[in-house]
Structure 1
Amino acid sequence: MEFKSRDFSDAARVLKIRGLKVGLAGRPEAAPVIDGIDLDIRAGETHCLVGESGSGKSVTSLAIMGLLPRGALEVRGGSIDLEGVEITQASAAEMRGLRAMRLSMIFQEPMTALNPVLRVGEQIEEVLNMHTDLSAADARQRTLDIMEQVHLPDVERIYRAFPHQLSGGQRQRIMIAMALVLDPHLLIADEPTTALDVTTQLQILKLIAELQARKGTALLFITHDMGVVAEIADTVSVMQNGRIVERAPIHELLTAPKEDYTRKLLTAVPTLAPRAARPDARGGDVLKVADLEMVYGGGGVLRRGGGVTAASEVSFAIGPGRTLGIVGESGSGKSTVARCIMRLIDPTGGAVHVAGTEISRLPRRSLRPHRKHLQIVFQDPYRSLNPRWTVARSLCEGPINFGTPRAEALAHAAELMEIVGLPRDALRRYPHQFSGGQRQRIAIARAVAMKPDLLVADEAVSALDVSVQAQVLDLLDDVQAKFGIAMLFITHDLRVAAQICDEVLVMQKGRVVEHGPAANVLSDPHHAYTRTLIEAAPGRHWDFANFRALDTAPAPGPKGETA
């Protein structure tokens, strides 16, 4: 298939980087973090910078913004030219003048980038107050205008809201509004859609493209998701170990990658093709959920109304060695169901049977003997692992609490480290001494150490880059096969669900709208909402492993153009 490629050769060059080197501050003998990269971005162009975690993508963006952490990283050489201004030589005052006016940045996690004690409207106005002489009334109106441009509903209400009162997608729109309120010439977006569900992600990508086209902004988009790259990029630079190893127009990179590392990234992208069906295991169900209901805020003398229904009439079962995936947008009730099953919250109705015991109504003090039957792997392993404990202590805590002798628990922990692909001597190390993917392996080992009947994985791979994600999915598959564990897999990524799930259950607004074998749900969905989720999956028209566009749909060109 042919592509409609966009030519930017005549467009003004907004950013020119030559020979940029960044290293550890005060340690000239240490290997550079960024090792002599070159980069050009022109007006209106979307340039994607891709690579695994630790490749140097975010450090590059911080260097451009003049935000390298003092005392930790420093520019050792090279130049960063922003429309004639040399960033590496600019003073702090000059950089403050450039930020927001000529270059701006959207960060990955808006909840940590936004001030939790200021209303979001005030935070956008702060940018205007720092860089313009607008009156208070004009600044407020400008703020409301940009909030409307990013398609926020009821802007007067959201103007007065605090960050915690908004959804993830709405918070990200606030970040985009802050970044674009002064029409910068260069916008840097650092993993702005990684933690968002597929439909919200699609909305954010369309919004960025729409505003970029309207204002002619140059965009440096940093991501590890090659599906997103396929949807939005004009040009792609691939980073590995602080160097750019390949650069090409998007269609050339996807169809004829030259470097082995680029091919590795592409072949690691999960597809929507469901895994081969596994036979039903013999024996009773490990988990059986019947008419589960969870209503927040309902009842009580001081509470008015019927509360908010987060889950209603949810029913399913999982047999030994089988995986059921729950998919849906943020707020659909996925995690609520998982927390009810784990009894992290108490369901308001229905029944939950784990290993033959109904646990939904058991008093808290009576739950302890049943906890070993079900374990959970959370999305962020760094927050779920105690930073002050060694890996050995984290892995041994549960078994010891349930009566396993310390020596036996430690020996089993060493075996588990090998099973999850880590060395035995790593037991003496602490969580901060591991990468994100390694920490998730440790979290899985900790869960498996209890020899559970059921493993709940709540967005366990959503924050990982594609190659590490593929490794963790393979690990979960191996662990499940080895120990016969049933798994409940919560995800917003249908591509991931296709790789690991035997059955898929689709939730919308707290209710199950479709449930069946993964092959049926993902290949022949019956419900309109399921079809919407599938259509929103980035890169769905590409066969990344074979470097070709799929024949089942038009091949998307840059910015969604079709051949």
Structure 2
Amino acid sequence: MRFKTRNFDTSSVALSTEDLSVHLPDTPGQPQVLKQIDVTIRQGETVCLVGESGSGKSVTSLAIMGLLPEALKVTEGRINLQDRDLLPLSRAQMRELRAARIAMIFQEPMTALNPVLRVGGQIMEVMELHTQLPAAERRARAISIMEQVHLPDVERVFRSYPHQLSGGQRQRIMIAMALVLEPVLLIADEPTTALDVTTQQQILSLIEELQANHGTAVLFITHDMGVVAEIADTVYVMKHGEIVEHGPVEHVLRQPQADYTRDLLASVPSLSPRPARPEGDEIVLKVEALNKIYGGGGILKKLPQTHAAKEVSFTLTRGRTLGIVGESGSGKSTVARCIMRLIDPTSGRIMLDGQDIAGLSRNALRPHRKKLQVVFQDPMRSLNPRWTIAESLIEGPLNYGTPRSEAMAEAARMLTVVGLPENALKRYPHQFSGGQRQRIAIARAVMMRPDVLVADEAVSALDVSVQAQVLKLLEQLQDELGIAIVFITHDLRVAAQICDEVIVMQRGAVVEHGTAAEVLVSPAHAYTRSLIEAAPGRMWDFQNFKEMPEVTHANPS
């Protein structure tokens, strides 16, 4: 692939850090969190800061913003915004700079936006705090920046609350807030991680467009090497609080020097599907003409209906993985929740080991629950923070009559299976990393010896190396126990590496269904092709540090 070239003034430095070091001063030995970090970002340049969770990426961004938690202290170095050292500034002086000179957008806009204020008012508030503009001019400028970030029906969105907007629209509001005062530097901390590929591509293109129009320098923090290949001018690779490699993006991706960089790139899943597992004779899950319709009721006025799932049908045999992919709102999670009976389908059949569970009451469904387990995207929300890991793991077996001593022995064995020490049983969820918590969530599901495991975006929040470990773990468990997996994802690279079959959903309907090779290599539907073409870095072979040959899609429709 040809990397994007951007014209920027190499002599005009927007931000630089010099020997930046951060410690935990109140702990024994004062461990270093950042170790003499040197980063330079020029006006109009996009610098990507990459590395695994815990490498120090976000700590670097928070240090630059002056938002470090009280437990962390900058003990050495300088942070220069153009020619001004930020470290000696007071809190009040830093507040004046934020949004006006240096701005930040976060991964989850729903937690960054005020849920009880209309989004237009939140954009205007930024100008109210930092300018003397009259209200009419603030409103006009807010409308203008909302148009620049390509929001639809701007007047309606201006009056909307955050919960009334989609994830992509909320992220556009965050970008509008960040850029409305044309800051020197924009810091973007994993802003596209939770978005589907087409929305992700739109947000990346939007940031580039606004950068070209405003000349903003961008520090983009990510663990997605596909995003790096798409947008970076310069890459800094971090490990354990240190910069282990940096340079122009084409040099880092073509000729990585550090072993750690090579390992990171090797962990990026390929878009080329792995060989499919043979299809067995034992059908464990069969979904027939599944429909889910929301709305349509109302006392005074009939409400519009939303057809979240339309006539969805598929068959899954023991030991195989079926992937369901599509954009946000396509219906894939609705199908997963119907299968799990977390929501009731409107019509259709869900045959679990030959038994239709679609219409069963809660009591009648209970004996079947152990056959059907789920792993969610965020294990921190699905694990009880007040329970030890042992208590979380044995809860299910105890509910189904397993003696406590037997359940504890199985919990200890299962932790070993998922690659965690037995002493983890006595610890709590907050004492583990995100990847470790997801392993615990998988262990908890597998403790029930299910026939079907539903994984709903189970690896989307993990960095690439941990993601690769979790995918390998799922395959090992599948080999050992013969579990069938329904894998919900918006990441086509992940789908290529774990799925035997793939269903593509759009607006609640299945538009394509076939083997992973058929769907991802020779897609028959235009929507599937658009998803593949939107995948960041799709033309780059990360494992072999080279471009991939251009594929001409067969069966155009």
Short-chain TM bin = over 0.9
- RMSD between aligned residues: 1.4
**Does 2:510 match 1:521?**
no
Q: Distance in 2 between matches of 1:537 and 1:465?
A: 17
1:96 aligns with 2:115: no
Q: Does 1:436 align with 2:430?
A: no
Which residue of structure 1 aligns with residue 135 of structure 2? 136
Residue pairs, 1:142-181, within 5 angstroms? 142-181=141-180
In 2: Cα distance, 1:282 partner to 1:514 partner: 23
Runs (4+) of structure 1 exceeding 3 A deviation are 1-11, 25-28, 299-303
Give the alignment of 1:242-261 within 5 angstroms.
242-261=241-260
Q: CA deviation at 1:11?
A: 3.8
Matched residue SS, 1:246 = strand
Structure 1 equivalent of residue 541 of structure 2: 543
Corresponding letter in the other structure for 1:104:
A
Q: 1:4 to 1:107 in 2, by over 3 A?
A: closer
Secondary structure of 1:88's aligned partner: coil
Specify whether residues 516 and 303 from structure 1 end up closer, same or farther in structure 2 by C-alpha distance, changes over 3 A only.
farther
Aligned-pair CA distance for 1:299: 3.7
| Paired residue secondary structure (2:401) | coil
Contact residue 287 and residue 313 of structure 2 kept, 8 A: yes
For 2:462 and 2:2, the matched residues in 1 are separated by: 32
| Residue 216 of structure 2 is aligned to residue 187 of structure 1 | no
| Stretch moving more, 516-525 or 21-30 | 21-30
Match of 1:422 among 420, 423, 433: 420
- Identify unmatched segments of 5+ residues in structure 1: 555-563
CA gap 1:423/1:303 in 2 versus in 1, 3 angstroms: farther
C-alpha displacement of 1:108: 1.0
Quote the offset at 1:93 in angstroms.
Answer: 1.4
Query: How far apart in 2 are the matches of 1:346 and 1:2?
Result: 49
Larger CA deviation: 18-27 vs 250-259: 18-27
- What displacement does 1:509 show? 0.2
The 2-side partners of 1:4 and 1:323 are apart by: 37
CA separation of 1:206/1:280 partners in 2, compared to 1, >3 Å: closer, same or farther? same
SS in 1 for 2:344: coil
Residue by residue over 1:470-509, the C-alpha shift from the partner in whole angstroms, topping out at 9 and shown as x without a partner, is: 0000000111111001100000011100000000000000
Matches within 5 A, 1:19-418: 19-27=19-27, 29-70=29-70, 72-283=71-282, 285-299=283-297, 301=299, 304-418=302-416
Whole-Å separation in 1 of the counterparts to 2:65 and 2:226:
26
Give the Cα separation in 2 of the matches to 1:67 and 1:506.
42
Deviation at 1:364, TM superposition (A): 1.5
Q: For residue 555 of structure 2, what is the aligned residue in structure 1?
A: none
TM-score by length of 1: 0.96
Query: 1:27 and 1:135 mapped to 2: Cα distance?
Result: 50
C-alpha deviation, 1:10, in angstroms: 3.4
Runs of 5+ consecutive residues of structure 2 not aligned to the other structure: 553-557
Amino acid aligned to 2:87: T
Counterpart code for 1:236: V
Structure 2 CA distance, aligned partners of 1:2 and 1:157? 40
Q: Following TM superposition, by how much is the alpha carbon of 1:29 offset from its aligned partner in structure 2, in angstroms?
A: 2.5
Separation in 2 of the partners of 1:302 and 1:464?
A: 47
CA contact 1:394–1:446 (8 Å) conserved in 2: yes
TM-superposed deviation, 1:177: 0.3
Q: What is the rounded CA distance, in whole Å, between the counterparts of 1:496 and 1:79 in structure 2? A: 40
CA contact (8 A) 2:197 2:327 kept: yes
Contact 2:4 2:230 in 1 (8 A): no
Distance 2:529 2:487 in 1: 20
Q: Go from structure 1 to structure 2 and tell me whether the alpha carbon gap of 1:348 and 1:302 turns closer, same or farther (over 3 Å shift).
A: farther
**1:160-209 C-alpha deviation (Å, 9 max, x unpaired):** 11111110000000000000000001000000000000000000000000
Q: Is the Cα–Cα contact under 8 Å of residues 326 and 489 in structure 1 kept in the other structure?
A: yes
Q: Classify 1:276/1:184 alpha carbon distance in 2 versus 1 (closer, same or farther; 3 Å).
A: same
8 Å contact from structure 2 (residues 15, 41) kept in 1: yes
Range with greater deviation from structure 2 (441-450 or 26-35): 26-35
> Given the superposition, is the C-alpha separation of residues 455 and 303 from structure 1 closer, same or farther in structure 2, using an over 3 Å criterion?
farther
Query: C-alpha separation between the residues in 2 aligned to 1:296 and 1:7?
Result: 50
SS at match of 2:543: helix
Q: Deviations over 1:83-137 (max 9, x none)?
A: 1111111111111111111110011110101111111111111100000111111
Question: Does the C-alpha gap of structure 1 residues 387 and 17 become closer, same or farther in structure 2, counting only changes over 3 Å?
Answer: same
Alignment-derived partner of residue 558 in structure 1? none
Contact 1:15–1:40 (CA under 8 A) maintained in structure 2: yes
Deviation per residue, 1:232-252 (Å, 9 max, x gap): 000000000000000010000
Distance 1:339 1:410 in 2: 30
CA-CA distance at 1:8 after TM superposition: 4.6
Change (3 A) 1:553 1:524: closer
CA drift of 1:365 comes to: 1.9
The one-letter amino acid paired with 2:42 is: R
The letter for the 2-side match of 1:262 is T
1:552 CA drift (Å) = 1.9
CA distance in 1, matches of 2:76, 2:302: 64
Shift of 1:27: 3.9
1:5 offset after TM fit, Å? 4.8
Distance 1:511 1:2, change over 3 A: closer
Structure 2 residue aligned with 1:559: none
Displacement after TM superposition at 1:403 (Å):
0.6
Deviation at 1:26, TM superposition (A): 3.2
Structure 1 residues 553 and 307 mapped into 2: Cα distance closer, same or farther (>3 Å)?
closer
1:28-74, CA deviations, whole angstroms, 9 ceiling, x for partnerless residues?
7321100111010000000000000000000000000001112x111
Q: Is the 8 A contact 1:297 1:303 kept in 2?
A: no
In percent, how many aligned pairs have the same letter?
Answer: 68
2:455 aligned partner: 457
1:545 partner amino acid: Q
**Is the 1:541–1:553 Cα contact (8 Å) retained in structure 2?**
no
**Residues 237 and 245 in structure 2, CA contact (< 8 A), matched pair in contact too:** yes
Q: CA shift at 1:461, angstroms?
A: 0.2
Which amino acid letter does the alignment assign opposite residue 435 of structure 2? Answer: G
What is the alpha-carbon distance in structure 1 between the residues aligned to residue 3 and residue 24 of structure 2? 42
Distance 1:306 1:124, change over 3 A: closer
| Partner residue, 1:446 | 444
Q: Output one character per residue of 1:293-352: Cα deviation in whole Å (capped at 9) or x when no partner.
A: 001112465661452111110000100000000000000000000000100000101111
Query: How far did residue 3 of structure 1 move?
Result: 5.7
Cα distance in 1 for residues equivalent to 2:3 and 2:63: 34
Aligned length: 552
* Aligned mates of 1:414, 1:219 — CA distance in 2: 46
Q: Which residue of 2 aligns with 1:560?
A: none
Note closer, same or farther for the CA distance 1:7–1:136 as it changes in structure 2 (3 Å cut).
closer
SS of the aligned residue for 2:32 comes to: coil
Deviations 1:213-233 (A, max 9, x none): 111100000000000000000
